[in-house]
Amino acid sequence: MSVDTLQYLLGMAGTVAFAVTGVLAVTPRGIDFFGACVLGLITAIGGGTIRDLILGVPVFWAADLNYIWVALGASFVAFLTERLLTRREIHRTMLYLDALGVSMFAIQAAQKVMWLDFGMPIAPILLGVLTAIGGGLLRDVLAGQPTLLKRRELYAIPVTCGCILYVTLLTWFPAYAVLTGVVCSLLILCLRSSAIYWDLHVPLW
Amino acid sequence: MSVDTLQYLLGMAGTVAFAVTGVLAVTPRGIDFFGACVLGLITAIGGGTIRDLILGVPVFWAADLNYIWVALGASFVAFLTERLLTRREIHRTMLYLDALGVSMFAIQAAQKVMWLDFGMPIAPILLGVLTAIGGGLLRDVLAGQPTLLKRRELYAIPVTCGCILYVTLLTWFPAYAVLTGVVCSLLILCLRSSAIYWDLHVPLW
Amino acid sequence: MSVDTLQYLLGMAGTVAFAVTGVLAVTPRGIDFFGACVLGLITAIGGGTIRDLILGVPVFWAADLNYIWVALGASFVAFLTERLLTRREIHRTMLYLDALGVSMFAIQAAQKVMWLDFGMPIAPILLGVLTAIGGGLLRDVLAGQPTLLKRRELYAIPVTCGCILYVTLLTWFPAYAVLTGVVCSLLILCLRSSAIYWDLHVPLW
Q: Determine the pLDDT at residue B51.
A: 95
Please tell me which of the candidates B118, B149, B156 has its beta carbon nearest to residue A62: B118
Among B27, B31, B32, pick the best mutation site for testing chain C contact (most C Cβ within 10 A).
B32
Shortest distance between the Cα of B145 and any Cα of chain A, in A, equals: 8
Question: What number is the average pLDDT over the span B79-106?
Answer: 83
CA distances from C190 to B164, C130, C152, C183, C185 (A): 54, 20, 18, 10, 9
Give the count of alpha carbons within 13 A of C192, CB side only.
Answer: 29
Count A/C contacts: CB-CB distance under 8 Å: 58
How far is the C-alpha of A170 from the C-alpha of A166, rounded, in Å? 6
Q: Give a yes or no: residue C205 inside a domain.
A: no
> Which residues in chain A are closer than 8 Å to C58, comparing Cβ atoms?
56
Q: Give a yes or no: residue B42 inside a domain.
A: yes
By three-state DSSP, how is residue B83 classified? helix
**For chain B, how are helix, strand and coil distributed in percent, rounded to 5?**
80, 0, 20
Given a cut of 90, whether residue B194 has pLDDT beyond it is yes
Neighbouring chains to B with at least 3 Cβ pairs closer than 8 Å: A, C
Given a cut of 60, whether residue A205 has pLDDT beyond it is no
Question: What number is the average pLDDT over the span B50-58?
Answer: 94
Under 8 Å between Cβ of B34 and B61: no
Under an 8 Å CB criterion, which residues of B touch A? 53-54, 56, 118-119, 122-123, 126, 137, 141, 146-150, 152, 156-157, 160, 202-205
How far is the C-alpha of C123 from the C-alpha of C163, rounded, in Å? 10
> Which residues in chain C are closer than 8 Å to A203, comparing Cβ atoms?
32
Given a cut of 90, whether residue B168 has pLDDT beyond it is yes
Q: Do C65 and A204 touch (CB under 8 A)?
A: no
Q: Give a yes or no: residue A202 inside a domain.
A: no
The more confident residue out of C204 and B51 is: B51
Res. B103 pLDDT band, cuts 50 70 90: very high
Given a cut of 60, whether residue C205 has pLDDT beyond it is no
Res. C204 pLDDT band, cuts 50 70 90: low
Q: Determine the pLDDT at residue B82.
A: 78
Under 8 Å between Cβ of C160 and C187: no
> Which residues in chain C are closer than 8 Å to B33, comparing Cβ atoms?
202, 205
Q: Give a yes or no: residue A169 inside a domain.
A: yes
Question: What number is the average pLDDT over the span C68-90?
Answer: 85
Q: Determine the pLDDT at residue C11.
A: 83
How far is the C-alpha of C66 from the C-alpha of A122, rounded, in Å? 10
Q: Do A143 and B141 touch (CB under 8 A)?
A: no
What total of structural domains would you count in chain A?
1
> Which residues in chain B are closer than 8 Å to C149, comparing Cβ atoms?
31, 34-35, 38-39, 142-143
Q: Give a yes or no: residue C90 inside a domain.
A: yes
Neighbouring chains to C with at least 3 Cβ pairs closer than 8 Å: A, B
Q: Do B149 and A35 touch (CB under 8 A)?
A: yes
pLDDT tens figures, C116-156 = 989 888 999 999 999 999 999 999 999 888 888 877 788 88
Under an 8 Å CB criterion, which residues of B touch C? 29-35, 38-39, 41, 49, 53, 58-59, 61-62, 65, 68-69, 79, 141-144
Given a cut of 70, whether residue B40 has pLDDT beyond it is yes
| Average pLDDT of every residue of chain C | 88
Measure the CA angle with vertex C125, ends C161 and C41; round to 5°: 100
Q: Give a yes or no: residue A90 inside a domain.
A: yes
| Structural domain boundaries, residue B150 | 3-197
Q: Do C69 and A123 touch (CB under 8 A)?
A: no
Question: Which chain A residue has its CA at the smallest distance from C143's CA?
Answer: A150
Count B/C contacts: CB-CB distance under 8 Å: 58
| Average pLDDT of every residue of chain A | 88
Res. A103 pLDDT band, cuts 50 70 90: very high
Measure the CA angle with vertex A141, ends A139 and A142; round to 5°: 65
Question: What number is the average pLDDT over the span A133-151?
Answer: 88
Q: Give a yes or no: residue A204 inside a domain.
A: no
Q: Give a yes or no: residue A135 inside a domain.
A: yes
Given a cut of 60, whether residue B158 has pLDDT beyond it is yes
DSSP code of C28?
Answer: G
Question: Which chain B residue has its CA at the smallest distance from A61's CA?
Answer: B119
Res. C164 pLDDT band, cuts 50 70 90: very high
